[in-house]
Amino acid sequence: MAAAKDYQSYLKNKCIVGYGIVNGIVNALIFMGMHVGDADITFAAGKVVEEIALTGALLGLILTWCVVPLTKMDFNKGVYLGNSEGYGWLAKLPKKAIPLSVIVGVIALAVAAPLAWLCSFVLPLPLSRTGMMIFKGVMCAIAGCVSGYVVIGATTAGVEAANPAACLLYTSPSPRDA
């Protein structure tokens, strides 16, 4: 078995690559698939911001449901060392999936919508289907990276790999965890 990764290394790898870049590519491909028959479609500023805001909020909600069990599974397998520092405000977020997903959805919305609005001043609007696909991919990568950071930080806040009692917190989810 490989040595456990440092927490910061795990966090950067998961957030930038997995929940950022990979998520951006997947969302761009989904967008393209949804508009495969609309070659001439264009997106004005309002539609760009609306599309990104809605996607950001949904991304935060959905990503939480994926990241929490994956993070717990990686911890239990010893993939990374725990985070004993707690990361301040992240440690205060709820551990239950539903409240955490709502908060992460709001955070993703709060990041994606203003950023899309600011970008609408410099983008060559209206965006073509391909332009919107690329922009949506980039925005989803940013929102996914931020969402992943919040979820991993909240899930692992205060947990140390050397603490066997902490491992009991990261067993299979029970129905009351939802």
- pTM listed for this prediction: 0.85
Q: Answer for the pair 133, 76: CB distance below 8 angstroms, yes or no.
A: no
Q: What are 2-24's pLDDT values in tens digits?
A: 788 888 899 999 999 999 999 99
Contact 112, 55 (CB under 8 A): yes
- Cα–Cα distance measured from residue 147 to residue 51, given in angstroms and rounded to the nearest whole number: 18
Mean pLDDT of 60-74: 93
| pLDDT reported for residue 172 | 44
Residue 86 main-chain phi, psi, to 5 deg: 85, -15
66 pLDDT above the threshold of 90: yes
The CA–CA distances, whole Å, from 161 to 77, 87, 172 equal: 10, 16, 17
pLDDT digits (tens, 9 = 90+) for 35-63: 999 999 999 999 999 999 999 999 999 99
pLDDT average, residue stretch 22-32: 96
Measured CA to CA, the distance from residue 64 to residue 22 in angstroms comes to 16
